[in-house]
Structure 1
């Protein structure tokens, strides 16, 4: 696939994510897809490495249970060969604490045969982790 097609696939993925259409989003991934989400699992409940569509589906479920997004938008796409980087902005609230966080992020995609084979998130994990801290914990 070419860079333009890869970019369109990733843009379609973001559109499906924003609609909550995870079953169709999963169709854009290879069977052996790998997701890498940074952070300490004991603080960020969806952090970790997920391999395969079933595991990635569980990631989306954990993310939905943990966060309510106010804004989530990719702003820029940079494609070269079979790699694509999306730069964006997000603002969300941790459901468990009611604490908000906002961040700029970078998502790196590895493409294979027109599908996403690897996805890695680069973000301000401290800001995300802080959203999961209760106010009394933050005062310590």
Structure 2
């Protein structure tokens, strides 16, 4: 197996664990001191911020599950930089915000950094505007999909 295939295999396994909501399958793919990052305002998007180590990954996933229902989630392409040990994934998700019942489509990019066969860092680049409109009750008059790209 090539280094490229190994990196892709780890990221695909991480997505499979995420889709199945099996943190017990995701954590062994992550380094003990991994850094998990999501942009946004934690007061409005509780999963936002920096999360450290396995406990941080669990906190991040727990916040997602507490606040969002994932109706669809698909990584559509993977770009690999073997030299840097990085994988960029481009994809789309469809979520329902539990507190508002509002739906949004999220076109995202994820950056994984891997060392010695483990994920050492994850950074997501989501459509935070669509998320915020769907989450925040004061923005209820806006359509989170009005300006979004669709499939």
TM range (shorter): over 0.9
Query: Are 1:79 and 2:80 matched, yes or no?
Result: yes
CA distance in 2: counterparts of 1:13 and 1:123, whole angstroms? 18
Q: CA deviation at 1:122?
A: 0.6
| 2:47 equivalent to 1:35 | no
Aligned pairs for 1:47-126 (under 5 A) are 47-81=48-82, 82-126=85-129
Mark the runs of 5 or more structure 2 residues left unpaired by the alignment.
143-151
Instruction: For 1:28 and 1:83, locate their aligned partners in 2 and report how far apart those are by CA, in whole Å.
Output: 14
Deviation digits for residues 19-70 of structure 1, max 9, x if unmatched?
1111111110000100110111111111110011111111101110010011
Which segments of structure 1 move beyond 6 Å, counting only runs of 4 or more?
A: none
SS of corresponding position for 1:73: strand
Q: Distance in 2 between matches of 1:138 and 1:97?
A: 9
- Aligned partners of 2:104 and 2:130 also within 8 Å: yes
Gaps of 5+ in 1: none
2:133–2:139 Cα contact (<8 Å) kept: no
Which residue of 1 is the match for residue 145 of structure 2? Answer: none
Deviation at 1:4, TM superposition (A): 1.1
For 2:123 and 2:38, locate their aligned partners in 1 and report how far apart those are by CA, in whole Å.
Answer: 6
Give the aligned length.
139
What is the CA distance between 1:137 and its match in structure 2? Answer: 4.0
Secondary structure, counterpart of 1:45 in structure 2: coil
TM-score scaled by length of structure 1: 0.94
Which TM-score applies when normalising by structure 2? 0.88
* Counterpart Cα distance in 1 of 2:98 and 2:23: 20
Are 1:10 and 2:11 counterparts?
A: yes
**What is the RMSD of the two structures over their aligned residues, measured on CA atoms?**
1.4
